[in-house]
């Protein structure tokens, strides 16, 4: 993921998840064991830098001679965008010494420093070795980023930073209420990815209802092309299109109930309808043969070669598959098809959310410096630099004018425009990583899509897993406010 990540989700934590380093930071990384951060408070800590004077040019009151340390996850987004932003910090605070480093081993490098009380000032907590956000928040190891969000934006002193961000970014950084602990810097569009050229060759349009989806898949099958493939070994990619479909059919409250681990949330008729729809793809032979044995790279490669029309994924797929996607592929993404006209939300309802989680530790020596570095990164110039270099949108709402967008990025921007306010953001993969990836994904959805469980059996199994998680006192529980 990088993180999902992603993200792979890797990237996000996906943090939620565990992400893959290669995937644009967006999603979680397949095949990695879940590393939980054994965060403990210990050590003598480090002395805080004396705060500087707040001025119009220095609204956070950064000490202009204090050292600032920034550790970046070295994944699919590379280091250059961050290094460029560091140069701006150094220009703004010429007397400050900045220490910048990048590593894939975030947890093994930084956990000991959290335990000793001397963490860096800014961290991109992503990748396979991401530290568990829930643990860090639960142990009061993160600084509240509200001062950053309420500070004037880097470009326009009349606008607060929070007013320049994409929908859902601020909320994603919250765990139970007001404080904002995480700033997700990348912005991922999840959905159904396909070649517009392939769709045109079938003389078909992207299907808005499930009957239309089955018709398009039947056309593809006649031409020797499977309707769908997915990361069979990491079936937690399936929700990238399945969850927003559930939200479209039943309303966002169905997704919220699932996230909240409410009893019988998975037994909602919308869940049943969507599981049965996906199961039909298996029953009608519309899934690429051998898909359950493919990993994310193999499934994406088969799809890029035209062996399958549709794949559920996140927007990091464009960068991650750049070496296998043909020049004339005309990559596109769409929101999921619905069931029919009785769906609660309109066609276009899509899942989009932040990836690449940045944190400022509560025991950082120079937390104002860490937040100021983020304020710089959330400027229009830094955002444009990020987008043009890594083919991903950032959390900054804009920053695409004047940049030649790649096909997938252009399609993602169009999908967000079509969605308008109908953007959903399921939190299960952020709040309960193991439940989402190992149990729901591998244990049930993967089995159902391979034909080894019926939809009813999969739902019963998942509800059981969710009930177990709800009763587990060893994990922290979160709820939509």
| Three-state helix/strand/coil letters over the chain | CCCCCCCCCCCCEEEECCECCCCCCCCECCCCCCCCCCCCCCCCCCCCCCCCCCCCCCCCCCCCCCCEEEEEECCCCCCHHHHHHHHHHHHHCCCCCEEEEEECCHHHHHHHHHHHCCCCCEEECCCCCCCCHHHHHHCCCECCCHHHHHCECCCCCCCEHHHHECCCHHHHCECCCCCECCEEEEEEEEEEEEEHHHHHHCCCCCCCCHHHHHHHHHHHHHCCCEEECCCCCCHHHCHHHHHHHHHHHHCHHHHHHHHCCCCCHHHCHHHHHHHHHHHHHHHCCCECCCHHHCCHHHHHHHHHCCCEEEEEEECCHHHHCCCCCCCCCCEEEECCCCCCCCCCCCCCCEEEEEEEEEECECCCCCHHHHHHHHHHHCCHHHHHHHHHHHCCEECECCCCCCCCCCHHHHHHHHHHHHHCCCEECCCHHHHCHHHHHHHHHHHHHHHHHCCCCCHHHHHHHHHHHHHHHHHCCCCCCCCCC
Output the pLDDT for position 281: 98
Q: Which two tokens stand for residue 455?
A: 């939809």
Supply angle C-alpha 164, 168, 173, rounded to 5.
Answer: 95
Q: How many whole angstroms separate alpha carbon 427 and alpha carbon 103?
A: 27
Which of 14-18, 91-95, 181-185, 428-432 shows the lowest mean pLDDT across its residues?
14-18
Q: Which two tokens stand for residue 305?
A: 């070669």
pLDDT category at 11 given cuts 50, 70, 90 is very low
Output the pLDDT for position 434: 84
Percent of the chain's residues with pLDDT above 70: 91
pLDDT category at 176 given cuts 50, 70, 90 is confident
Q: How many whole angstroms separate alpha carbon 472 and alpha carbon 445?
A: 22
Output the pLDDT for position 34: 37
- Look at 4 and 44; give whichever has higher pLDDT: 44
Q: Where are the domains of the chain?
A: 34-188+354-409
Residue 463 CB neighbour total at 10 angstroms? 18
Percent of the chain's residues with pLDDT above 90: 75
CB 135 within 8 A of CB 433: no
What CATH number is given for 34-188+354-409 in this structure?
Answer: 3.40.190.10
pTM summary value: 0.80
Question: Is 204 exposed, middle or buried, given 0-12, 13-18 or 19+ CB atoms closer than 10 A?
Answer: middle
pLDDT category at 135 given cuts 50, 70, 90 is confident
Output the pLDDT for position 377: 98
Output the pLDDT for position 246: 98
Q: Is the pLDDT of residue 68 over 80?
A: yes
Phi, psi at 300, each rounded to 5°: -65, -35
Query: Please, what is the average pLDDT of the chain?
Result: 89
Question: Is 136 exposed, middle or buried, given 0-12, 13-18 or 19+ CB atoms closer than 10 A?
Answer: buried
Which residues make Cβ contacts (< 8 Å) with residue 3, sequence separation at least 6?
9, 10, 11, 12, 13, 14, 15, 17, 19, 20, 23, 24, 25, 26, 27, 28, 73, 75, 76, 126, 127, 130, 186, 355, 356, 357
Which residues make Cβ contacts (< 8 Å) with residue 73, sequence separation at least 6?
2, 3, 21, 25, 102, 103, 104, 106, 124, 125, 126, 127, 130, 356
Q: How many whole angstroms separate alpha carbon 22 and alpha carbon 32?
A: 13
Q: Is the pLDDT of residue 417 over 90?
A: yes
- Closest C-alpha among 252, 414, 225 to residue 311: 225
> What confidence tens digit (pLDDT) does each residue in 360-389 have?
999 999 999 999 999 999 999 999 999 988
pLDDT category at 38 given cuts 50, 70, 90 is very low
């Amino acid at each position: 993921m990088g993180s999902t990540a992603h993200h792979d989700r890797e990237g996000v934590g996906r943090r939620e998840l565990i992400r893959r380093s290669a995937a644009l930071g967006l999603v979680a990384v397949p095949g990695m064991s879940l590393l939980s951060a054994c965060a403990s408070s210990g050590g003598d800590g480090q002395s805080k830098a004396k705060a500087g004077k707040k001025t119009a040019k220095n609204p956070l009151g950064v000490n202009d001679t204090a050292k600032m340390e920034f550790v970046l996850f070295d994944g699919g987004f590379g280091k250059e965008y961050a290094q460029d932003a560091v140069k701006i910090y150094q220009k703004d605070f010429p007397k400050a010494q900045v220490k910048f480093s990048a590593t894939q081993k975030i947890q093994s490098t930084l956990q000991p420093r959290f335990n000793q009380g001397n963490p860096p000032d800014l961290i991109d907590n992503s990748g396979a070795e991401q530290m568990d956000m829930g643990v860090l928040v639960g142990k009061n190891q993160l600084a509240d980023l509200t001062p950053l969000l309420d500070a004037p934006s880097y470009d326009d002193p009349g606008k607060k930073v929070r007013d320049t961000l994409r929908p859902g970014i601020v909320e994603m950084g919250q765990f139970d209420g007001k404080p904002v602990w995480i700033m997700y810097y990348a912005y991922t569009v999840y959905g159904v990815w396909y070649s517009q050229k392939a769709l045109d060759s079938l003389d078909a349009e992207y299907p808005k209802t499930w009957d239309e989806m089955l018709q398009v898949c039947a056309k593809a099958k006649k031409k020797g092309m499977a309707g769908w493939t997915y990361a069979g070994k990491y079936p937690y990619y399936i929700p990238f299109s399945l969850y927003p479909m559930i939200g479209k059919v039943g309303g966002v409250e169905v997704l919220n109930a699932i996230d909240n681990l409410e009893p019988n949330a998975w037994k909602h008729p919308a869940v049943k309808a969507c599981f049965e729809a996906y199961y039909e793809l298996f029953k009608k032979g519309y899934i690429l043969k051998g898909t359950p044995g493919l990993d994310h790279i193999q499934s994406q490669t088969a799809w890029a070669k035209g062996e399958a029309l549709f794949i559920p994924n996140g927007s990091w797929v464009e960068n991650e598959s750049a070496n296998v996607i043909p020049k004339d592929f005309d990559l596109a993404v769409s929101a999921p098809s619905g069931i029919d006209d009785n769906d609660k939300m309109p066609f276009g309802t899509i899942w989009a959310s932040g990836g690449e989680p940045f944190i400022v530790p509560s025991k950082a020596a120079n937390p104002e410096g860490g937040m100021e570095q983020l304020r710089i990164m959330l400027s229009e110039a830094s955002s444009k630099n990020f987008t043009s270099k890594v083919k991903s949108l950032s959390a900054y709402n804009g920053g695409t004018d004047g940049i030649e967008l790649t096909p997938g990025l252009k399609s993602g921007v169009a999908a967000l425009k079509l969605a308008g306010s109908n953007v959903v953001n399921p939190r299960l993969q952020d709040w309960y990583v193991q439940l989402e990836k190992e149990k729901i994904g591998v244990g049930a959805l993967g089995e159902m899509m391979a034909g080894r469980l019926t939809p009813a059996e999969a739902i019963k199994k998942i509800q059981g897993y969710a009930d177990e998680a709800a009763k587990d006192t060893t994990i922290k529980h979160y709820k939509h406010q």
